[in-house]
Amino acid sequence: MSLLTINAPLARRILVGFLQDEIWKVGAKKAILGLSGGIDSALVCHLAAEALGPENVYAICMPYKSSNPESEAHARLVAEASGVHYNVIEITPMVDAYFEGFPDADPMRRGNKMARERMTILFDHSALQGALVLGTSNKTELLLGYGTLYGDMASALNPIGDLYKTQVWQLSEEVGVARPVIDKQPSADLWAGQTDEQELGFSYREVDQLLYRMVDQRATAEELQQAGFSADFINTVYGKVQNSHFKRRLPVIAKLSNRTIDRDFRYSRDWGK
């Protein structure tokens, strides 16, 4: 049994309870999420449908013209299987209109813009439906910084942010995510044929084994090498975690007063709830 194996029914119960408690106590009943056709958003969609009832969950698929058509088909499959409201909103007109002014923009700028375009649509629909935006970033992506700040990383609540990708696969089996969605190669789907693992340069299963030891078990570099990880791999991953830390924090506030927000003005987010 792998180090990363979880008690899936127990994790499911905790996450369903989390969604219910954190959504209901702020006086909301509904949730909204972007459904990409990938496994992370599929898992969140199933958990939300179970927690809130599918009639209270709004899934929006937001393809760009270069997105793989299979992605939308998979998003629809997930929406149908979980019974949630489903809507497709193309982002091509907005994104293309913007880049007409910047034709030389590289794929990273374009990918980030797409992620942020989707975010604005989700938050607009959040206001329209009175629904909280659910995040769909997993722990692997969050640690590696493999996501767009204020784009796909923006949400009100994230039920899967403490699950490594390997564990997302496992829990997805438990909640009954459609087989083709579980089996396919993870992809940010910015262009046809793109895969995460190709872009990152290592596999999720491989990096999850390393991250689990490094982060959760606080293994030393020496212990990690003894466990069979190369020094290069360890350094690359450690560097990614360190250099993306800004994405996991609020913007830095320059201190002047005695009570600066988040430094010596400290309250839980659930203050009064």
Partner 1 sequence: MRDLNAALVQLKPKLGRVADNLDLIREQVERAIEQQADLAVLPELALTGYFLKDLVPEVALSLDSPELTTLRELSRRISIAVGFVEVTTDFQFYNSAAWFEAGELRHLHRKVYLPTYGLFDEQRYLGRGDRFRAFDTCFGRVGLLVCEDMWHLSAPYLLAMDGATTLVCLSSSPGRGVEQGQLGTAAAWRNLTTATARFLTCRVLYVNRVGYEDGVGFWGGSHAVAPSGEIVVSAPEFDASMTLARLNAADLRRERIASPLVRDESLCVTQLELERIHRERSR
The footprint of partner 1 on residues 112-171 (CB under 8 A) is 157
Among 120, 140, 157, which Cα is nearest to 244's? Answer: 140
Q: Which residues, including other chains, have CB under 8 Å from residue 203's CB and lie 6 or more apart?
A: 197
Q: For residue 173, state whether it binds partner 1 (rule: CB under 8 A).
A: no
Residues 58 and 83 sit within 8 Å (Cβ to Cβ): no
Tell me the CA end-to-end span of the chain in Å, nearest whole number: 40
Which span sits near partner 1 by CB under 8 A: 72-80, 92-100, 124-132, 262-270? 262-270
Q: For residue 55, state whether it binds partner 1 (rule: CB under 8 A).
A: no
Nearest to partner 1 of 137, 187 (CB atom): 137
Q: For residue 224, state whether it binds partner 1 (rule: CB under 8 A).
A: no
* Sheet containing strand 85-88, strands side by side: 85-88, 57-61, 30-34, 131-133
Which span sits near partner 1 by CB under 8 A: 10-18, 69-77, 87-95, 115-123? 10-18
Closest separation between CB of residue 268 and partner 1, Å?
Answer: 4
d(CA 10, CA 12): 5
Which span sits near partner 1 by CB under 8 A: 46-54, 81-89, 123-131, 263-271? 263-271
d(CA 128, CA 135): 18
Contact positions vs partner 1 (CB under 8 A):
5-7, 10-11, 13-14, 17-18, 21-22, 25, 157, 265-273
